[in-house]
């Protein structure tokens, strides 16, 4: 299966963090991201656009740092919906994001030293 992690972006991250720290950073992301996805779900249920936007923003930022480009761009679309208070237009957006996260998380887990 083709990699969903952008090698250049991941290399940059490794250089900023230090190679010995990358594992801890991956685990922090894998701990944090499910909570952010939960926040997206409950914000959507409560039609809380601001909370939804914040969670999507954080997810977008972290996914981009790890080179999970697809996940990041999906999160960015959700962030826009939150900003424009158009949560009703989400369609299958959240489900797509959850699937993209699972794929990226699996690959990152394997990359953690």
37 contacts another protein (rule: CB under 8 A): no
CA gap 8, 13 in Å, rounded: 9
Question: Quick one: which of 21, 85, 86, 112 contacts another protein (CB under 8 A)?
Answer: 21
Q: Which residues, other chains included, contact 54 with Cβ-Cβ below 8 Å and sequence gap of 6+?
A: 39, 82
Confirm or reject binding of residue 29 to another protein (CB under 8 A): yes
Give whichever of 83 and 95 is closer to another protein, judged by the CB atom: 83
Residues sharing a CB contact under 8 Å with residue 14, sequence separation 6 or more, in sequence order: 22
| 77 lines the binding site for another protein (CB under 8 A) | no
Alpha helix segments (H runs only) across the chain: 7-17, 22-45, 49-65, 69-83, 93-111
**Cα 24 to Cα 5: distance, rounded to the nearest angstrom:** 17
Q: How far is the CB of 15 from another protein (least distance, A)?
A: 4
> Binding string, 45-74, against another protein, x = CB under 8 A?
---------x--xx-xxx-xx-x-------
Interface contacts to another protein, rule CB under 8 A: 9, 12-13, 15-18, 21, 24-25, 28-29, 32, 54, 57-58, 60-62, 64-65, 67, 76
């Amino acid at each position: 299966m083709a990699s969903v992690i952008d090698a250049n972006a991941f290399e940059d991250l490794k250089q900023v963090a230090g190679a010995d720290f990358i594992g801890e950073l991956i685990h922090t992301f894998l701990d944090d991201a499910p909570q952010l996805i939960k926040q997206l779900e409950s914000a959507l249920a409560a039609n809380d656009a601001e909370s939804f936007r914040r969670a999507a923003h954080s997810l977008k930022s972290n996914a981009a740092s790890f080179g999970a480009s697809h996940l990041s761009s999906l999160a960015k679309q959700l962030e826009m919906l939150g900003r424009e208070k158009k949560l009703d237009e989400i369609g299958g957006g959240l489900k797509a994001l959850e699937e993209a996260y699972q794929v990226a998380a699996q690959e990152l887990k394997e990359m953690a030293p």
